[in-house]
Chains A and B, each alone.
Chain A
Amino acid sequence: MSLLKKDTSFDQCIKCTVCTVYCPVAKANPEYPGPKQCGPDGERLRIKSPEFYDEILKLCTNCKRCETACPSGVKIGDMIAVARDEHAKMPLNIKTIRDFVLSHTDLMGTVATPFAPIVNTITSIKPVKKIMHKTIGVHDHKSLPKYSHGTFRRWYKQNCTSQALYPQQVHYFHGCFVNYNHPQLGKDFVKVMNSMSIGVQLLDKEKCCGVPLIANGFFDKAKKNAKLNVRNFEAAIEKYNSSIVSTSSTCSFTLREEYPHVLKVDNANVADKIEYVTRFLLKQFMNGNTPKMKPINKKIVYHTPCHLERTGGNLYTIELLKMIPGLEVVVLDSQCCGLAGTYGFKTENYDTSIAIGESLFKQIRQSNADFAITDCETCKWQIEENTQLETIHPISLLAMAIQ
């Protein structure tokens, strides 16, 4: 196990201020000191004394757009997240309970799934939403994601018994969203893979990738999840030495990058195998393994999720979309949608969240598109809620195109 060293990239900061121009939170919320001060400036002070840690760092959405913009290679987003791990105090109050509920997706998913229809109804009725707003601080304008009555894993176990027969295999990290909220995406994924003669293998066990836990300060739990996931990846690769694919741009980013950089969990043995789905697909396409597609004569607007832009994965998604016959693809200006996972559900962040996404929503509303396409589930929620335009995953669109 390599000792993952403390990141000292703040050393390279030449104080050019570019990160502050591209931070979506700084743009919308004057309370936020900005990535420069919270990141490289603040780090020098925090090293001097932990007393210099400012709780205001919790306003960072971890979108990493500061890193994308930085010309000096400073890992600004990472160092803010790590600082929160090292210094933030979790207050004992009702907001922390809310944060716990929003971020412990496996726990909540397991509990809610059997009662999904009831839970879904209750959380969507007005008086309940108003109570949640006033007590635990979930904004009443937000609709909590619906739970599916039956997990993806259960569906897979019942319906995907002969995946091993395919000539090629791929490992699928389904994540919480597919498992508890939207198994249809997982089903679409299996359909697409199978149409390309690739069988889908689930991991023996998987836990939430940890991104909401990181965002809400539950680092110990995130690390625990991370270690379990890495062990399962290692075991999976032993079985079939193939890629571990995720349909969530944020999960794949977290599994590959956040584990070593923020959680200091060593995933060196498996990192290269972890891929976001469109990268995997594009490589297959380039090697000649293309499914037969029927035209989709629709106009779509594509929204680049922040984490996908950070890893350059949007290149693959866009190439893929362009390959779908009949599809009119409009790539929206790349900007943050504002939801940032659990961030925008909170009463104290809601206004910031909407302000951040406002120009994106405007662009979408004016686009006259049939669908919005995006790779991230929380972007999907944010866009649908604020534009009423149905938002689907590239894989689901591909599944539609496949004969």
Chain B
Amino acid sequence: MTSWLETDVVIIGGGATGTGIMRDCALRGIKCILVERDDLASGTTGRNHGLLHSGARYAVTDEESARECIQENRILKNIARHCVEDTQGLFISLPDDDLDFQKSFLTACGRADIDVEQLSPEEALRLEPNCNPNLIGAVKVPDGTIDPFRLASSNVLDAVEHGARLFNHTHVTGLIREGHAVRGVRCLNMKTGEHFDIRSKQVINAAGIWGQQICEYGDLNIKMFPAKGSLLILDYRINNLVINRCRKPSDADILVPGDTISLIGTTSERIDYDKIDDLHVTSREIDVLLEEGAKLAPIMANTRVLRAYAGVRPLVAVDGDTSGRNISRGIVLLDHAERDGMDGFITITGGKLMTYRMMAEWATDLVAKKLGNTQPCITHTKPLPGSEQAQKKVKHTASLAKPIYQSAYYRHGERAEKFLKNDKKSQAVICECEMVTSGEVEYAIKELDVHNLVDLRRRTRVGMGPCQGELCSYRAAGLFSEYGQSSGTEASHLLSDFLEERWKGIKPVFWGDALREAEFTYWIYEGLFGVSDIPDSDLPPLPTPNLDTDNSTATQTNENKSEVVS
């Protein structure tokens, strides 16, 4: 007997777009459920620069995009205050760069209504002492940075507080079809192996690059061209302003500060669609990132690299256009009722992280119309949870060290008060690199849909500092057994899974202090702790959804039908 749930809208995909739609729907009173196969922002949303564009990058080649960006930039600085840092940015010209480009750059920005300011090299160096002292020109732009994990999580928090539901670690294995209409999705809970259905009036495919597979469930055709981009994370913030290269977009020309680190990106490499879940950062990419990055900030050459990661851009072929890097990263909104005669199903993809809210608005507008909902969109004015209270003086908690409560507020805004309690147990520090307390971990496990250490890392930054989990993962795993009802063995597996996940990003940069740290971690967890000998997990093995045969072709009847899915 397959159990089932019912709602107005099912959203597939827990990235920025999906969670943005979830919030928009919920705030308009539309009942919705979001289904995410892994965790919030585990896809492209969590694997990019984290750049809150000013739009300046697109001013020269794509004024439309540029305008969209600067508008959303201003909105996000307002509603997502605790996810955003208004760092400002620089576009620097180096001796090899053509200053004429800077001229056209300035003009284009002006046309797109982006406030820019031309600076002398001295002025630029004063603002950003670590940028390349050989620069010949600079333009200041209203760039900022945005934490995609916090963003997705806050959107979900707001949505859930307004009646929505989230299922993470849940795979969509098929669409429920009734004739030429989609009336819901088939789901597989990856933790329990349980299958269930969600019946809905509309289904929104916000699965990014994975959206192609979702469309295939409905025998619909959209062609996606995955373009891999790799980035490196540096040990600390070597720059306080975003540093861009003032020239035509190319590899590794953005150095972005974010929370306690800086990152350099990115590259662009077409990969086969079947490789989108098997990404590797290559030596060549690392060489390029290091070399070009050092041109933006020479200090990068001597800075410890913590890890490397890659994401996939969801580039969609629109009208057959499929060339190179300069495909317009335009937003693609497909009403399959119109396009393909398939009612109840829309796809939203393309775009970039910082236009998520606008994309969400468009998608929600579309389904709202179909549902006859006339509530206005308020996502551009209502602050997200955590950004609700204006930047006030952080409350001094006598019993907590300053860096601890400061970090908590930085990450969660006023919501930090939910876990900054005056009891010794909750004040114990779990992650010393990023200052995460036991209370924060408890809050994340109990209220932020955290099911494993990797989810925890996204919500709280545990394991994202220089030690990459060496000091904190054991402590955090223990808390899963305490607050998360994991058995001891399950918690032990969470630990080893987490260290394996961290290892994936350390391998490509396995030299210098990253190697030292990993060796140290290995000595402790393998030599001293014997992690590789932990008994098998109590949980059933992870089900592997068979994507080819799970396409639902049978017509759904109104009775509960038990389906055996292989």
B residues less than 8 Å from A36 (CB atoms):
432
B467 touching A14 by the CB < 8 A rule? yes
Of the listed stretches B189-197, B246-254, B401-409, chain A binds: B401-409
A51 touching B406 by the CB < 8 A rule? yes
Of the listed stretches B75-83, B216-224, B309-317, B512-520, chain A binds: B512-520
A8 touching B406 by the CB < 8 A rule? no
Within 8 A of A (CB), among B260-300: 260, 299
A8 touching B303 by the CB < 8 A rule? yes
A11-B433 contact given A37-B403, A47-B236, A52-B402, CB 8 Å threshold: no
Question: How far is B411's CA from A49's CA once the two chains are assembled, in angstroms?
Answer: 14
- Partner of B236 from the list A33, A44, A54 (CB cut-off 8 Å) is A44
8 A-B contact pairs sorted by A residue (CB < 8 Å): A8-B236, A8-B302, A41-B433, A44-B235, A44-B433, A45-B407, A52-B402, A54-B403
Which of A44, A47, A51, A55 has the most CB atoms of chain B within a 10 A radius of its CB?
Answer: A44
Within 8 A of B (CB), among A35-67: 36-37, 41-45, 47-49, 51-56
CB distance from B520 to the nearest CB of A (A): 5
CB distance from A63 to the nearest CB of B (A): 21
A15-B401 contact given A48-B237, A48-B260, CB 8 Å threshold: no
Question: How far is B407's CA from A41's CA once the two chains are assembled, in angstroms?
Answer: 12
Q: Which residue of A lies closest to B130 (CB)?
A: A6
A16 touching B403 by the CB < 8 A rule? no
Interface contacts beyond A11-B304, A37-B401, A53-B402: sample of 18 additional A-B pairs, CB < 8 Å, sorted by A? A8-B236, A8-B302, A13-B466, A14-B513, A15-B471, A33-B401, A37-B403, A44-B235, A44-B236, A44-B433, A44-B465, A45-B260, A45-B406, A45-B407, A47-B237, A48-B237, A51-B406, A56-B401
A11 touching B513 by the CB < 8 A rule? yes
Within 8 A of B (CB), among A53-88: 53-56, 72
B435 adjacent to chain A (CB < 8 Å): yes
Within 8 A of B (CB), among A2-47: 8, 10-17, 33, 36-37, 41-45, 47
Main secondary structure of the interface of B (DSSP, over half): loop
A15 touching B467 by the CB < 8 A rule? yes
CB distance from A56 to the nearest CB of B (A): 7
Which of A17, A33, A53 has the most CB atoms of chain B within a 10 A radius of its CB?
Answer: A33
Question: How far is B435's CA from A42's CA once the two chains are assembled, in angstroms?
Answer: 10
CB distance from A62 to the nearest CB of B (A): 20
- Partner of A54 from the list B402, B465, B517 (CB cut-off 8 Å) is B402
B residues less than 8 Å from A52 (CB atoms):
402-403, 406-407
CB distance from A74 to the nearest CB of B (A): 11
Within 8 A of B (CB), among A321-336: none
B259 adjacent to chain A (CB < 8 Å): yes
Total of A-B residue pairs, C-beta within 8 Å: 74
B470 adjacent to chain A (CB < 8 Å): yes
A residues less than 8 Å from B432 (CB atoms):
15, 36-37, 41
A42 touching B403 by the CB < 8 A rule? yes
Question: How far is B236's CA from A8's CA once the two chains are assembled, in angstroms?
Answer: 10
B303 touching A11 by the CB < 8 A rule? yes
A residues less than 8 Å from B466 (CB atoms):
11, 13-15, 44
Q: Count of B residues near A, CB < 8 Å?
A: 27
- Partner of A45 from the list B235, B304, B394, B435 (CB cut-off 8 Å) is B435
Q: Which residue of A lies closest to B236 (CB)?
A: A44
Question: How far is B5's CA from A34's CA once the two chains are assembled, in angstroms?
Answer: 53
B residues less than 8 Å from A54 (CB atoms):
401-403
CB distance from B393 to the nearest CB of A (A): 10
B residues less than 8 Å from A56 (CB atoms):
401-402
A residues less than 8 Å from B237 (CB atoms):
44, 47-48
B residues less than 8 Å from A10 (CB atoms):
236
A15-B403 contact given A45-B260, A47-B237, A48-B260, CB 8 Å threshold: no
CB distance from B382 to the nearest CB of A (A): 27
Q: Which residue of B lies closest to A16 (CB)?
A: B520
A15-B433 contact given A45-B403, A52-B402, A56-B401, CB 8 Å threshold: yes
Question: How far is B516's CA from A72's CA once the two chains are assembled, in angstroms?
Answer: 10
CB distance from A23 to the nearest CB of B (A): 15
Question: How far is B394's CA from A33's CA once the two chains are assembled, in angstroms?
Answer: 20
B304 touching A12 by the CB < 8 A rule? yes
CB distance from A35 to the nearest CB of B (A): 12
Which of B299, B432, B471 has the most CB atoms of chain A within a 10 A radius of its CB?
Answer: B432
B residues less than 8 Å from A8 (CB atoms):
236, 299, 302-303
Q: Mask for B136-172, Cβ within 8 A of A = 1, else 0? A: 0000000000000000000000000000000000000
Question: How far is B406's CA from A53's CA once the two chains are assembled, in angstroms?
Answer: 10
Question: How far is B466's CA from A53's CA once the two chains are assembled, in angstroms?
Answer: 19
B residues less than 8 Å from A15 (CB atoms):
432-433, 466-467, 470-471, 517
Q: Which residue of B lies closest to A31 (CB)?
A: B401
A14-B465 contact given A41-B432, A41-B433, A42-B403, CB 8 Å threshold: no
CB distance from A15 to the nearest CB of B (A): 4
Q: Which residue of B lies closest to A43 (CB)?
A: B236
A14 touching B517 by the CB < 8 A rule? yes
CB distance from B398 to the nearest CB of A (A): 11
Within 8 A of A (CB), among B423-479: 432-433, 435, 465-467, 470-471
Question: How far is B102's CA from A378's CA once the two chains are assembled, in angstroms?
Answer: 61
Question: How far is B305's CA from A12's CA once the two chains are assembled, in angstroms?
Answer: 11
Which of A8, A48, A52 has the most CB atoms of chain B within a 10 A radius of its CB?
Answer: A48
CB distance from A301 to the nearest CB of B (A): 38
B401 touching A11 by the CB < 8 A rule? no
In the A-B complex, the 8 residue pairs with the closest CB atoms: A54-B402, A15-B467, A11-B304, A44-B236, A14-B517, A52-B403, A15-B471, A44-B260
B516 touching A14 by the CB < 8 A rule? yes
CB distance from B335 to the nearest CB of A (A): 44
B residues less than 8 Å from A42 (CB atoms):
403
B residues less than 8 Å from A16 (CB atoms):
520
CB distance from B428 to the nearest CB of A (A): 13
Question: How far is B470's CA from A41's CA once the two chains are assembled, in angstroms?
Answer: 14
Q: Mask for B380-413, Cβ within 8 A of A = 1, else 0? A: 0000000000000010000001110011000000
A11-B402 contact given A44-B260, A45-B435, A48-B260, CB 8 Å threshold: no
Question: How far is B517's CA from A17's CA once the two chains are assembled, in angstroms?
Answer: 13
Which of A13, A42, A56 has the most CB atoms of chain B within a 10 A radius of its CB?
Answer: A13
Question: How far is B435's CA from A33's CA once the two chains are assembled, in angstroms?
Answer: 12
A11-B236 contact given A37-B432, A44-B433, CB 8 Å threshold: yes
A residues less than 8 Å from B299 (CB atoms):
8
Q: Which residue of A lies closest to B467 (CB)?
A: A15
Question: How far is B435's CA from A72's CA once the two chains are assembled, in angstroms?
Answer: 22
B residues less than 8 Å from A43 (CB atoms):
236
Which of A15, A16, A43, A54 has the most CB atoms of chain B within a 10 A radius of its CB?
Answer: A15
B residues less than 8 Å from A41 (CB atoms):
403, 432-433, 435
A residues less than 8 Å from B513 (CB atoms):
11-12, 14
CB distance from A38 to the nearest CB of B (A): 9
Question: How far is B303's CA from A51's CA once the two chains are assembled, in angstroms?
Answer: 23
Q: Which residue of A lies closest to B261 (CB)?
A: A44
Q: Mask for B221-237, Cβ within 8 A of A = 1, else 0? A: 00000000000000111
Which of A16, A41, A49 has the most CB atoms of chain B within a 10 A radius of its CB?
Answer: A41
Q: Mask for A231-248, Cβ within 8 A of B = 1, else 0? A: 000000000000000000
B residues less than 8 Å from A55 (CB atoms):
402
CB distance from A40 to the nearest CB of B (A): 8
CB distance from B402 to the nearest CB of A (A): 4
Question: How far is B401's CA from A357's CA once the two chains are assembled, in angstroms?
Answer: 26
CB distance from B330 to the nearest CB of A (A): 34
Question: How far is B404's CA from A41's CA once the two chains are assembled, in angstroms?
Answer: 11
B303 touching A48 by the CB < 8 A rule? no
Which of B259, B303, B402, B406 has the most CB atoms of chain A within a 10 A radius of its CB?
Answer: B402
Which of B299, B403, B470, B471 has the most CB atoms of chain A within a 10 A radius of its CB?
Answer: B403
Question: How far is B406's CA from A37's CA once the two chains are assembled, in angstroms?
Answer: 14
A14 touching B260 by the CB < 8 A rule? no
Question: How far is B206's CA from A334's CA once the two chains are assembled, in angstroms?
Answer: 64
B residues less than 8 Å from A48 (CB atoms):
237, 259-260
B residues less than 8 Å from A53 (CB atoms):
402
